[in-house]
Amino acid sequence: MSLSATDAWSRLLDRARTELSDHIVETWLVPLQAAEYSGEELVLNAPDQFSVEWNERRHSALLESYAPVALGHPVKIALRVQQERLQRSQMDLFVPQKGQEQATLEPEKQPNNVTLSSLNDRYTFDTFVIGKSNDLAAAAAMAVSQAPGKTYNPLFFYGPTGLGKTHLMQAIAQEIVRKNPQTRVTYITTEQFTNDVITSIGKGAMHDFRRRYRETDLFLVDDVHFIGGKNSTQEEFFHTFNALYEAGRQIVLTSDRPPSEISKLEARLASRFAWGMVADIGQPDLEHRIAILRRKAQMDHLEHTIPDDVLHFIADHVQSNVRELEGSIIKLLAYASLKHRVVTVDLAREALRDKIRTSEGAPMRSERQDRMGVIQQRVATEWGVTVEGLQSKTRTKTLTIPRQVAMYLAREILGLQLVEIGQAFGGRDHSTVIHSLERVAETMKESAEFRGRVERVRETVRHSS
């Protein structure tokens, strides 16, 4: 009985899944649709011309090599753009397919109630790019994966968003589960934990709640800084932490700041968070960013699509975090497909104009620097200190308060990133800036006099612009 086009393509896809990574199959092959099959040739419809050209270069020969085994005889692969999609301006290739969306909703149950639905297959040690900004954190993560509950417990990662904290946390889980599939893993955000506390209290089911969390082998909690100020959540977290720690179970936590700087965090929790290893993850330097982009290009088989000079260009201009780097690659590919152009530095400059700092943007940066100077000068005058004092490393109370106010106004008026603000005040790290912003906001609520002084400075700065 002859196969239909759909059946033939299904068999080739099944074969491809045994040879290629899930990411490549889902991103590049699943969007293709079987159109015609003659026995000698299989015609596949692609979302757009970029997909046609990409798959012809990277995957047609591979698919044809699978045919003798999957279909029993050689088959030629032909790709074309589906006619009804030629009118579309969007690139369907980067839109999750229905199968992918469902996959994220259905938890994958493993033996012993291990739930791996939240773990990303790409978040492994093999895909993590180590540099000066994260080498300590990476070394600690690897050590924990080799001896969970014994080496560093708890392991606490902190740093700005998008730099790899969650990647390292999940890499630990992936490695531990790989070695011992029976490991019971709990991976949650602080928000999920809080919601679970509230729901369990409402249902009178705290016994089940405690049993569920305290019988796990590996406890992973993202964004633990959100626990600050939530008394009931902190109480339950404290007892859960103690039960797991005393049982020798591994605990891994992430936050955007170190334990000592989490606002409204009980002292007993702050001290416990620092019992094991506290490791920070900073922003990658230029060489590290280039290495990250190269690794992503290799993983997605983009080496011949995105030239090295384009990777250097992106690394030089997109400096905020790893997510921004990866997002820039996706946006660039989508833009190249839409314009039907080869990826070059000029095309990257067009596609990423909202992200990069071009030469035309220099006056804007200069203007922001000037306005930062105005903020520092106005605050210094109001509090009777010097601008040099605000920019210094000195931490006396006479300088700390106005320095925090200046940081607060720089964030509010100029919208600067935390790292940029920290650099303008003696090279302080992002966690210090966060603490400063929160401290000023709290004091403004508590003191009408303080709020009046801040507002007075704000108005003088705005009138000067």
Q: Which residues are annotated as a binding site for ATP?
A: 162, 164-166
In DSSP notation, 204-219 reads T-HHHHHHHHHT-SEE
Coil, strand or helix: which one is 15? helix
Are 145 and 196 within 8 A, CB to CB?
no
Side-chain half-sphere CA neighbours of 297 within 13 A: 24
For the chain, the distance separating the N- and C-terminal CA atoms, rounded to the nearest angstrom, is 78
Q: Which residues 6+ apart lie within 8 Å of 166 measured at CB?
A: 123, 222, 254
Query: Rounded to the nearest 5 degrees, what angle is found at the Cα of 23, between the Cα atoms of 17 and 29?
Result: 60
Dihedral angle sign, alpha carbons of residues 147, 152, 156, 158:
negative
Which neighbouring-strand residues pair with 341? none
- C-alpha distances out from residue 84 to 27, 61, 89, 90, 305, Å: 21, 26, 12, 13, 26
Count other Cβ atoms within 10 Å, centred on residue 192. Answer: 15
Burial of 126 (0-12, 13-18, 19+ CB in 10 A): exposed
Q: What are phi and psi of 219, to 5 degrees?
A: -110, 110
Return d(Cα 281, Cα 273) in angstroms, integer: 16
Query: Rounded to the nearest 5 degrees, what angle is found at the Cα of 133, between the Cα atoms of 127 and 137?
Result: 65
For tokens 């997605």, name the residue: 300
Are 281 and 165 within 8 A, CB to CB?
yes
**Exposure letters 206-244 (e unless 16+ CB within 10 A, then b):** eeebeeebbebbbbbbbbbbbbbebeebbebbeebbeeb
User: Which residue ranges make up the annotated binding site?
Assistant: 162, 164-166
Count other Cβ atoms within 10 Å, centred on residue 420. Answer: 19
